[in-house]
Structure 1
Amino acid sequence: MLRLAILAGLISLCAAAAKLEEVFAWKEVSYAWPSEDAKNQAVKNGEYISANNLPLGLGRWKDKLFVTVPRWKAGVPSSLNYISLASPNKTDSLIPYPDWKANTLPKGEEKPDENAITSTFRVTADACDRLWVMDTGVADILGEFKVISSPAIVIFDLNTDKLIRRYTLKEGDLKHESFFANIVVDVLPGKCDKAFAYIPDLGGYGLVVYSFADNDSWRIKHNFFHFDPLQGDLKVGGINFQWTDGVFGLALGPADDNGDRTMYFHALASTTEFSVNTNVLKNKTIATDPHSYDMFKIEGNKGEHTQTSASVFDEKSNVIFLTQLVRDGVACWNIKKSLSPQNVTLIAEDHDNLIFTNDIKIDADRYLWIISDKMPAFLYRGLNPDEINYRIYKVAIDEAIKGTVCEA
């Protein structure tokens, strides 16, 4: 037993040895204002309160790195932003996307434009050069909870920065407790019009499926979308809190000959991973039929303290990467191996710089991008503006899994 324990320790040390490249780091995020006067006016009006801006989601497309800033609190001037990767400045300012107007909250009786973004948590850039945004429609979530618009999927053409479509979720897609913090897109190259989007509802414990071709959506319910009451007590960055977040992270496996995939999913307040074939989700009749219950499968348990927000799949290595909120890092699992604690290992761990790894993405060059943002401290205690609070890293995938149980 002692030899096994030593071996496990050595594996763990090797697993967390991947060298991450720090790309951006901020004490507080700033924005590329049209002018200094515009910034000063926003500060004066309370439209920009620097301490209330928490970067949360990310995604890369060519030389743009998208960074979301949800409107948790008042004083967030822009929710959907990007940074130019050509910039050598690690503390570069966020540039609103597609522009300032689309990210500015309406005043009085004004109605938001079709391309307006009220508050978004995560985005996806697809193989067809489109940016998919899940707009919650709510500002000042922790304060006055201002409903600006209904939850909607907003899709942009990344080559022109123009709106392709805005789809407002139907009444039947929503529950009173609904909270949409993620969106994953299922599309094959050359079949852009056949895309589907999967949107987990972490508060209402459901999954909304959207068909681009039909411009229609439907809601799926399943027991596996709920949280585990034994896994909602978390301690991150010295802060103890309890969450009841349900289905959250979605990772799409490789496409088969029919274009279908296995979707791996989990609740945030859980350590169990589940799966379902997308041919179930994409068929509205089957997806909403209670008899499809057994088509959802249990993959296994990741182990103690493995609560995960986002997850993402790399097709070449057959590896799913998973944020590790309690362990201050990122883990991997090779789907060719059974899911067990022995087959889930850390590829990065840092108790100072990776506190709350909120989102991860894989780009076209097979780099894994990671954002850490100390969100529990932001929500419950407040952050120290004199220290670095937000960091974005990247690492080559093959380097990240080298020497680990995830390597083929």
Structure 2
Amino acid sequence: MWKLSFLLVIGLLEIQAAVDEIFAWNELSFDWPNNEIKDEAIKSGQYVPENNLPLGLDRWKDKLFVTVPRWKAGIAASLNFLPLNSPINKTSSLIPYPSWKANTLPESGQTPEENQIVSTFRVKVDACDRLWVMDTGLADILGEGKQVSPQAILVFDLKTDKLIRRYNLKPTDYKEDSFFANIVVDVSADKCDEAFAYLPDLGAYSLVVYSWSENDSWRVKHNFFHFDPLKGDFNVGGVNFQWTDGVFGLALGPQQETGFRTLYFHPLASTREFSVSTQVLKNKTVATDPHSYYLFKIEGNRGDLTQASASDFDEKSNVLFLTQLNRDGVACWNPKKPLNPQNLDLVVQDNQTLIFTNDIKIDSDRNLWILSDKMPAFLYKGLNPSEVNYRIFKANIDELIKNTGCSA
């Protein structure tokens, strides 16, 4: 028995050794223009430090983008970046992107600027050096819930930091309960004008497809987008809660000979994974036709306590990575194998530092970035400012999946 325990400990140490903690904060700090402006923001209630929770991330070159949704009042800036130039300060201050002005809520009666970012949950860097931002336009979500601007996709040129397109979602794209907290982009570097974006609607159980070339969008409905009523119970970091979030995590597989990809997706309150060819989604007529129901596939069931928020796909290893909310970690699965509990490997786990792995992203160097933020405690009971509450990790993918079933 002692030998088994020893081997388990050694295995866990090997897993943890593959992951580096890059940033860690008790509370987020921001790169204010000066202390006077910061003090005035605190005094007026425009900045309430304990209300700022990091949620999404992605990397482009020496910038690590970090989102801070406006869950509550007093959010300094919703879209930010952290410099990755050496040496890195673990408690670095977030720098608003593309500027402070673009992240400042307009005064009552003012029209928002074209590049205004009200509240974003997740962003995506594409192969064409563009940053795609899904802006909910909603401030003080848990409070008054004010719709400051339309729900919109904003696309920035990362080489110039200029907004190159803003697309407001059409009224036919959303319902009363709609909530857009994620975005993935389907594009290749040699065909930048043929990009598509996929936006899961976790509240109204649908998927919105946006075409860059047509500058148009359409809403796709399917039963697989709904939550599983038997999988909505969560226990994370000592907090018990129930959610009904539908389709949430999206990840694109490799481009096939046909030119299309497989979109893997799952509701947050579910342990099943589904898929559909982007050939279906990119064709507005087919995607919105009820007869396309059978073109969507069930990949399998990951097993108990495997509810996931975010996911991302590494094309070189052909591995899908998924956050594991109830298990304080990240798991992997190789689609060459059937999806079942035996073929889902937990590649990193820690019940202290990885409480609520909210987002993961794979960068161009094949590093997996992981953001954990104790969000259930933030939402339901409050965080302890004397403890580290928010962390960002980086791990080499090949090291993570070594000696797991995912590497086969």
TM range (shorter): over 0.9
CA offset digits 1:290-316 (Å, max 9, x no partner):
000000000000011000000000000
Mapped pair 1:210 → 2:245: no
User: How far apart are residue 19 of structure 1 and its match?
Assistant: 2.4
**Partner of 2:296 in structure 1?**
296
Q: Tell me, yes or no, if the aligned pair for 2:18 and 2:396 is still in contact at 8 Å.
A: no
**Partner of 2:200 in structure 1?**
200
Aligned length: 404
Q: Tell me, yes or no, if the aligned pair for 1:182 and 1:249 is still in contact at 8 Å.
A: yes
Alpha-carbon distance in 1 for matches of 2:351, 2:339: 25
User: How far apart are residue 77 of structure 1 and its match?
Assistant: 1.5
CA gap 1:345/1:114 in 2 versus in 1, 3 angstroms: same
**Partner of 2:255 in structure 1?**
255
Q: Tell me, yes or no, if the aligned pair for 2:133 and 2:153 is still in contact at 8 Å.
A: yes
User: How far apart are residue 188 of structure 1 and its match?
Assistant: 1.0
Letter in 2 for 1:52: N
Mapped pair 1:338 → 2:338: yes
CA offset digits 1:191-233 (Å, max 9, x no partner):
0000000000000100000000000000000000000000000
Letter in 1 for 2:27: E
Q: Tell me, yes or no, if the aligned pair for 1:69 and 1:121 is still in contact at 8 Å.
A: yes
List 4+ stretches of structure 1 deviating above 3 A.
8-18
Q: Tell me, yes or no, if the aligned pair for 1:15 and 1:345 is still in contact at 8 Å.
A: no
**Partner of 2:309 in structure 1?**
309
> Percent identity, aligned pairs only?
69
Matches within 5 A, 1:216-231: 216-231=216-231
TM-score (norm 2): 0.97
CA gap 1:242/1:11 in 2 versus in 1, 3 angstroms: farther
User: How far apart are residue 258 of structure 1 and its match?
Assistant: 2.8
CA offset digits 1:354-374 (Å, max 9, x no partner):
000000000010000000000
Letter in 2 for 1:400: L
Unaligned runs of 5+ in 2: none
**Partner of 1:118 in structure 2?**
118
Matches within 5 A, 1:278-293: 278-293=278-293
Mapped pair 1:35 → 2:34: yes
Q: Tell me, yes or no, if the aligned pair for 1:12 and 1:346 is still in contact at 8 Å.
A: no
CA offset digits 1:224-260 (Å, max 9, x no partner):
0000000000000000000000000001001012320
Letter in 2 for 1:333: W
User: How far apart are residue 335 of structure 1 and its match?
Assistant: 1.1
User: How far apart are residue 150 of structure 1 and its match?
Assistant: 1.0
Alpha-carbon distance in 1 for matches of 2:47, 2:353: 26
CA gap 1:11/1:205 in 2 versus in 1, 3 angstroms: farther
Alpha-carbon distance in 1 for matches of 2:216, 2:255: 23
Alpha-carbon distance in 2 for matches of 1:147, 1:167: 16
**Partner of 2:78 in structure 1?**
79
User: How far apart are residue 10 of structure 1 and its match?
Assistant: 9.5
CA gap 1:24/1:9 in 2 versus in 1, 3 angstroms: closer
Alpha-carbon distance in 2 for matches of 1:88, 1:236: 30
Letter in 1 for 2:68: V
Mapped pair 1:353 → 2:353: yes
Alpha-carbon distance in 1 for matches of 2:88, 2:217: 42
Alpha-carbon distance in 1 for matches of 2:290, 2:8: 45
TM-score (norm 1): 0.97
Alpha-carbon distance in 1 for matches of 2:214, 2:154: 16
**Partner of 2:382 in structure 1?**
382
Alpha-carbon distance in 2 for matches of 1:108, 1:363: 39
**Partner of 2:277 in structure 1?**
277
